[in-house]
Structure 1
Amino acid sequence: MSTPVRYGSWSVDRGATFGGLGVGTWVGAAASGIPVFAALGAQRWALAAAWTPLWAAAVVLLAVPVRGRTPLRWTWDAGHRLIGSVLGWTSWQARAATGSVEDLEEADLPGVLSGIRTHDGPPFGPLLARPVVVSDDRERTWAVVARIAHPGIGLSEAGTRARLGHGLAELLESAATGELVSSVVLQVRTVPDDGAERTAWQVANRRPDAPALAQAVTDELAEIMTAAGVRHEAFVTVVVPERRVARLAKEAGGGTDGRARVLYGVMSEFEARLLGGVGCTAVTWLDSPGLAAAVRTGFAPGDRARLTTEEPGLPMAVAGPSSAPPPERRHYEHDAWQSVTCTVLLPDKGAVMGALAPVLVPTTAGERRSVSVSFEPISHTRADRMIGGESMNSELTNEIRRRGGFRVRAVHRQEAARVEGRDVRFAEGNALVRVGVAAAVTVPGTWSISDYGRRLESSITSSGFKPLRLDLAQDTGFAAACVPLGVGLPRRRGVR
């Protein structure tokens, strides 16, 4: 029996830094120490001694991370949240709740999703379907969403898993080579099966003159299967920025239809690779009602049965929540539900394919788990610059340690070997991809969200990863983890 492949050739996304700190941090730390150096130059020892603790405090505020952010960044983010709460910027109510909807096809979503607009594209494919094209006015991007079906890898051998991983790598490398797609978001949502499809089938096919014993056995089996069953939903969102698609869209006729035609070419390529190397059994590009249902069940998992049996044509205007109060520091409330979102930090020792499976397992009926993995292919030119900076930084840091008489530890040698291996693979033609993982748990509003948040963190830890709660950004984290619209994790550097 072959050994599963362990993937672990990743590194922290720090760009061209020295000693793990960015250029801005080094400049700030040096600038805060100018009074100390000036006092030493003037031989004013008492003043230098008085300024030294202040300099040390400034360095701690600028450079020492606490749960992913420096103290100065925590203060800045908390101040923004406080100002927004006082001015009422964080409260939101749907137009449908007030009866002021003018266009039922116009999306009405809170927070970072407020800039989302949907457009029906021109006919696509042999069935002349009209997939919905999603535009984000805030981020200036265009996206298309597909619902996929995959048999899973639970019973697959190591060779099959390696082949599927190679297929995903080829898909991402093709996206990086084309330099058109900015991100590919894979989202999987797991909920206890509500039996909606089974109930609808029974209503349509059950015979009223069937024996009473057969009906009783059927009802008992349905109850047992519904309690034990788990349903998975998987979506793939392809995001293209406006600056990359504008010229091609002009050549394709301009406007929304021109951008949709460019996206259709990307969709055809992605569909072929998803059905091929990735191993999907079905790829369905969502139309407007399908996307509205996916968004609605993202905010309210309990509405899935009603949408399946009663409202197949849900308009986008009512796909979001009716109201969203100001987000709490450590969780997010939306209608009668509440969610906790954590980012998943990748372990240094690597992980095998399927290691995140325990994160998707609900611990009780009524709990919904969701995991989104965002892949951002990096262009060849920028990747070459980043890898060159990492290589120079690694060599310079180790050389300084040697000349200073410090020991080069095993972790330093391992990091240098990792950078060298990445450089070799890039020279062989492999692409560089930025990866972000967000996991969320959603439960009814009457349940203890703090308890289920701890359960989510425990599932992530038991899978071999490290959770990091998105404090002060739970609404954005929820949109990234639970709503298939291509919204990524919060960014601090503003780099697209």
Structure 2
Amino acid sequence: MSATRYGDYAKDVSGWFLGMTGAQLAPVSVAGVPALIAFNAQAWAALLLCLLVWTLLVAALLVPISGRSAGRWVADLWLFSLGRALGWTVFGSRAAAGTAEDLSEADLPGVLAGVRTHDGPPFGQTFTRPVIVQNCAARTWAAVARIAHPGIGLAEPGERDRMGAGLAELCEIAARTELVDVVALQVRTVPDDGAERAAWERSHARRDAPAVASQVNALLGATLTPAAVRSEAFVTVVVGERRIARAAKESGGGIDGRARVLHGVMAEIEGALRGAVGCTAVSWLDSAGLAAAVRTGFAPGDRGQLIAADLTSGGVDGRAPATGVPMGAAGPTQALAEVRHYVHDAWASVTDTILLPDSGAVLGALAPVLVPATPGERRSVTVFLAPLPLDRATRLVGREDMSATTGNELRARMGFRQRARQRRDTERIGTADEKLAAGRALVRPAVAACVTVPATWPIAEHGRRLDAAVRAAGFVPLRLDLAQDSGFAAAAIPLGIGLPDRRGRR
């Protein structure tokens, strides 16, 4: 497999017995005991009833419906209804209510409510102070960087292979640190508000310019600016408290100690990004930069005002305007989580998870998902890469090997022919075992895509267009029903939140 094609992946959770996990196998086995008792007693009517109940239970536990089993759908719907009845799906900011005491403290909805930000110690040769993001609920620490990359659309095949190998090297470096939980790569295509162009025109306009030239320039700006888009990319490095606690204690403890340990990880990640990955710029965000990134995530239309204020920060008539936005006002003033979409201020969003195809994915295949369907639409895609420690990866591959071997032997004894997909899975497990033995990393990936439009637009139609774009790229979309607020936070807000933990291992 080339560096630009990714296909060595499997299910996130693979059962150790015929594809069933222990939580699934136990109730299925227990529910089958009454049927065996009825069969032994030759009570045929009771046997038929027990088999019917057992079949319904198996279907509810094992048959997926839009990514979840029937039992999981019932539980999630009940929890969503409970949250709506208690008012948990509605958010109102403290700044809008006039009750905010400290505007430097983050005030965000939903799964972002546990986020706190801290100014870390100086970092790098320029002695900047990147903000340290603390997630009290997930017990993690993170740092966010804005990156610039030339893209791979016009890259030569050799350069594209080098970039793909550089991304794999980035994951291996993150795994070798034994500190990184998740590396999140986020790309947002936002409508061009024309703020930079307007500032350039003001500084380069000539009073003696021909009237026709000025008229043509104004016409081009009015026609092309609404259809133009601007891309911005972020990298978020997330470190778990369990992994960083001992190293932070050796570095002085407290927030500064954790920031110093995180600075070492940031330097390694930055080296990989500037190296083989091919990034031309990597700048770790301070408090003002992160607040602007979060605010433009919730309200894309506010970017023009923020950029215009920054460009005119020199002041007019000796008076400097107020620039930026405090972290306490970076979130929405109001938000409402619906079943199939999420409403935040004057905007509405639909989020899909993207399922990887069985045939593999080519590097850059997600590019069509980022193309807006209509002017004024914002698209966001976040790729989560969670490198697994070597011992845990070895156990996972060993469990998959045992499950595949058991299934193949049972099918052979029952006289069933081995299918192509089963042969491919067996080969994939063997390949993964060889790569682990060679020192490669096992990574747990996840992808979330989001479309954001004004709340007055038909959000259901734009959600269908997002689904169509995902299918056109060769992937399978899966709408995050009943969890649109969490999906939006994962896909559009660069805070590293979105990939669920597995059994509290952070």
1:286 aligns with 2:297: no
Partner of 2:299: 300
* 1:92 Cα offset (Å): 1.2
Match of 1:393 in 2: 403
1:329 aligns with 339
- Verify the 8 A CA contact 2:3 2:164 in the aligned structure 1: no
Residues 1:236 and 1:330: Cα distance change in structure 2 (over 3 Å): same
Paired residues of 2:14 and 2:20 also in contact (CA < 8 A): no
Of 427, 438, 457, the match for 2:448: 438
SS at match of 1:12: coil
Aligned to 1:9: 8
Q: Which consecutive aligned stretches of 4+ in structure 1 deviate over 3 angstroms post-superposition?
A: 207-211, 489-496
Which residue of structure 1 lines up, in the alignment, with residue 314 of structure 2? none
Q: What pairs with 1:247-286 in structure 2 (closer than 5 Å)?
A: 247-286=246-285
* 1:262 Cα deviation after fit: 0.8
CA RMSD of aligned residues (A): 1.5
Q: Is 1:354 matched with 2:392?
A: no
Partner in structure 1 of residue 130 of structure 2: 131
Task: Indicate the larger mover: 25-34 or 363-372.
Answer: 25-34
Matched position secondary structure for 2:84: helix
Given that 1:141 and 1:239 are in contact with CA atoms closer than 8 Å, whether structure 2 keeps it comes out as yes
Deviations 1:251-294 (A, max 9, x none): 11111111111111111111111011100000010010100010
Q: Could you say what secondary structure the match of 1:341 adopts?
A: strand
What residue in structure 1 maps to residue 146 of structure 2?
A: 147
Match of 1:447 in 2: 457
> Could you tell me which residue of structure 1 aligns to residue 433 of structure 2?
423
What is the CA distance between 1:480 and its match in structure 2?
0.1
Is 1:70 aligned with 2:69?
A: yes
Per-residue CA deviations over 1:350-395 (Å, capped at 9, x if unaligned) read 1211111100000111100000000000000000010111112112
Task: Give the letter for the 1:121 counterpart.
Answer: G
**Distance across 1 between alignment mates of 2:91 and 2:504:** 25
Query: 1:28 — aligned with what?
Result: 27
Is 1:345 equivalent to 2:344 in the alignment? no
Provide the identity percentage. Answer: 57
Letter in 1 for 2:330: A
Partner of 1:97: 96
Q: Separation in 1 of the partners of 2:20 and 2:351?
A: 27
Q: How many residues align?
A: 493
Say if 1:443 and 1:449, in contact at 8 Å, map to a contact too: yes
Alignment of 1:155-194 (within 5 A): 155-194=154-193
Structure 1 portions without partners, runs of 5+: none
Corresponding position of 1:49 = 48
The equivalent of 1:472 in structure 2 is: 482
Partner of 2:196: 197
Does 486-495 or 313-322 show the bigger shift?
Answer: 486-495
Structure 2: which 5+ residue stretches go unaligned? 310-321
Structure 2 CA distance for aligned equivalents of residues 226 and 404 of structure 1 = 65
Q: Is the 8 A contact 2:184 2:236 kept in 1?
A: yes
Structure 1 residues 159-192: Cα deviation after superposition (integer angstroms, max 9, x where no partner) = 2111101001111101101110000000000122
CA apart distance, 1:12: 1.1
Cα contact 1:476–1:489 (8 A) shared by 2: no
Q: Give per-residue Cα distances to partners, 1:30-85, cap 9 Å, x unaligned.
A: 11122211222233222222222111111111111111111111000100111111
User: Is contact 2:335–2:345 with CA below 8 Å preserved after alignment?
Assistant: yes
What is aligned with 2:318?
none
Q: 1-side partners of 2:216 and 2:45: how far apart?
A: 89
In structure 2, the residue matched to 1:316 is: 327
Give the whole-Å Cα distance in 1 for the aligned partners of 2:223 and 2:475: 34
Letter in 1 for 2:305: R
1: distance between equivalents of 2:426 and 2:97? Answer: 59
State TM-score, norm by structure 1.
Answer: 0.96
Q: How many Å apart are 1:228 and its aligned residue?
A: 4.0
SS in 1 for 2:65: coil
8 A Cα contact 1:4 1:158, kept in partner: no
Mark the CA change 1:383 to 1:79 in structure 2 (over 3 Å): closer, same or farther. Answer: same
Work out whether 1:380 is the aligned partner of 2:390. Answer: yes
SS of 2:197's equivalent in the other structure is helix
Query: Is the CA contact 2:400–2:429 (under 8 Å) kept in the aligned structure 1?
Result: yes
